[in-house]
């Protein structure tokens, strides 16, 4: 009786194994060439309508039923005023026996001035083999998007000169002793004074340059010591270069630049509220909305602008019209 029980159990297990293999074989060998057996795809976008430069759009692709084969998908720019330099087209795979994946498209960010552009994106099979398993009635149009030129009209600048020094056995910082620099804007073509950029007695100083209010051309950022905080009488001698953190929202123009030693004040320079001993920090050029930063003393480009060339004809001795005693 015990032997019969074991025999029955073995036969039952064998039937179950063959049954499972048979069901899998039915799925694996089912002809996907029949339209009814192909998977219908639907696409859901993470955003709709307007998109900004630098933004990523995620497209969720879902099948109504799984396939026994991998299906590779890719984003395609089908139409619109945008070209393939404006979009970074991704791809992904719906693995065998799965029903979904995400395909991403990133809108390229650059410093070029551009009008709004349109882009119609489709998510399509990446090869004829993958296309074979996708139902022809699938709506592969992922959407039409308007790419906005979102570069800010402000150039943001942070001027930082703080550092630690030792005097009479004690440590101090320049900000602590109220060492105060002012930063001014001059016309690069004729050296005329335009306006104060940052003159608040803050340490560091922050400036927001309204690019839209300035004509195309070259501009100089000039520094003077409003108050040395009592540093000069100490007899200490060290350089105080200014580090400039720069950025323009919505563009790739972002980074840090340290004033050349040749232009940096030293601790031996005293207060100069009348602006009689100015020094150069950096320059920028505006051309058709593109902002490019330069160090004109070395003729090198600092920022990531593309449309301008360094102005090598600037004379730092030709600065005039500065009413240094008038703090805003």
Q: Note whether residue 189 is domain-resident.
A: yes
3-state secondary structure of 279: strand
Residue range of the domain that includes 71: 36-148
Q: Which residues pair with 107 in a beta bridge?
A: 87
Give the C-alpha separation, 318 to 64, whole Å: 73
State the average pLDDT over residues 270-291. 91
The number of distinct structural domains making up the chain is 2
Res. 12: pLDDT tops 60 = no
Supply the pLDDT for residue 154: 86
When mean pLDDT is compared over 16-30, 31-45, 272-286, the highest value belongs to 272-286
pLDDT of residue 22: 32
Average pLDDT over residues 287-309: 75
Whether 176 and 218 map to the same domain: the answer is yes
Q: How far apart are the first and last CA of the chain?
A: 107
CATH number, domain with residue 98? 2.60.40.2030
Least confident of 67-81, 145-159, 225-239, 279-293: 145-159
Identify the residue with better confidence: 55 or 8.
55
pLDDT band at 17 (very low <50, low <70, confident <90, very high): very low
State phi, psi for 268 to the nearest 5 degrees. Answer: -80, -10
- Is this structure's pTM higher than 0.85? no
Contacts of 255 (CB under 8 A, 6+ apart): 245, 246, 247, 302, 303, 304
Q: 196 and 169, same structural domain? A: yes
Confidence at residue 225, expressed as pLDDT on a 0 to 100 scale: 97
Q: State the pLDDT at residue 28.
A: 38
Do the domain assignments include residue 317? no
Question: What pLDDT does 23 receive?
Answer: 35
Do 254 and 171 fall into the same domain? yes
How sure is the predictor about 112, in pLDDT bands with cuts at 50, 70 and 90?
A: low
Which tens digit of pLDDT belongs to each residue from 81-107?
A: 998 889 999 999 999 999 999 999 999
Percent of the chain with pLDDT over 70: 79
Residues in CB range of 306: below 8 A, 6 or more apart? 111, 112, 290, 292
Identify whether 296 is part of a domain: yes
| Domain's final residue, options 96, 131, 148 | 148
Q: In the predicted model, what is the mean pLDDT of the chain?
A: 83
- In which order are the strands placed within the sheet that holds 193-198? 193-198, 180-187, 217-227, 279-287, 290-295, 300-301
Q: CA 3 to CA 111: how far, in whole Å?
A: 83
Q: Indicate whether 158 and 193 sit together in one domain.
A: yes
Which strands sit side by side in the sheet containing 205-210, from one edge to the other? 205-210, 154-160, 243-247, 254-258
Q: Is residue 306 part of a domain?
A: no
Residue 25 has pLDDT above 80, yes or no: no
Read off the pLDDT of residues 113-157 as tens digits, 9 standing for 90 and up: 567 899 999 999 999 999 999 999 999 999 999 998 767 788 999
């Amino acid at each position: 009786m015990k032997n019969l029980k074991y025999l029955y159990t073995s036969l039952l297990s064998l039937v179950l194994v063959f049954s499972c293999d048979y069901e899998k074989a039915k799925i694996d060998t089912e002809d996907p060439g029949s339209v009814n057996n192909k998977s219908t795809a639907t696409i859901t976008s993470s955003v709709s309508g307007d998109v900004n430069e630098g933004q990523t759009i995620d497209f969720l692709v879902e099948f109504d039923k799984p396939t026994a084969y991998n299906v590779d998908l890719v984003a395609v720019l089908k139409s619109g005023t945008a070209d393939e330099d404006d979009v970074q087209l991704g791809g992904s795979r719906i693995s065998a026996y799965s029903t979904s994946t995400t395909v991403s498209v990133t809108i390229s960010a650059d410093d070029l001035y551009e009008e709004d552009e349109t882009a119609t994106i489709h998510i399509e099979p990446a090869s004829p083999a993958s296309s074979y398993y996708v139902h022809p009635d699938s709506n592969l149009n992922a959407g039409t998007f308007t790419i906005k030129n979102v570069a800010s009209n402000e150039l943001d600048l942070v001027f930082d000169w703080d550092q630690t020094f030792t005097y009479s056995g004690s440590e101090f910082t320049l900000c602590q002793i109220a060492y105060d620099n002012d930063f001014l804007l001059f016309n690069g073509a004729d050296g005329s004074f335009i306006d104060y950029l940052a003159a608040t007695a803050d340490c560091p100083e922050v400036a927001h340059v309204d690019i839209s209010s300035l004509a195309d051309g070259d501009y100089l950022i000039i520094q003077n010591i409003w108050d040395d905080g009592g540093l000069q009488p100490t007899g200490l001698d060290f350089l105080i270069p200014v580090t400039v953190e720069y950025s323009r929202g919505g563009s790739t123009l972002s980074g840090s630049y340290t004033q050349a030693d040749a232009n940096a004040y030293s601790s031996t320079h005293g207060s100069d509220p009348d602006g009689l001993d100015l020094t150069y920090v950096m320059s920028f050029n505006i051309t058709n909305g593109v902002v490019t930063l330069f160090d004109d003393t070395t003729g090198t480009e600092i920022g990531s602008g593309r449309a301008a060339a360094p102005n090598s004809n600037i004379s730092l001795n030709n600065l005039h019209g500065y009413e240094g005693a008038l703090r805003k």
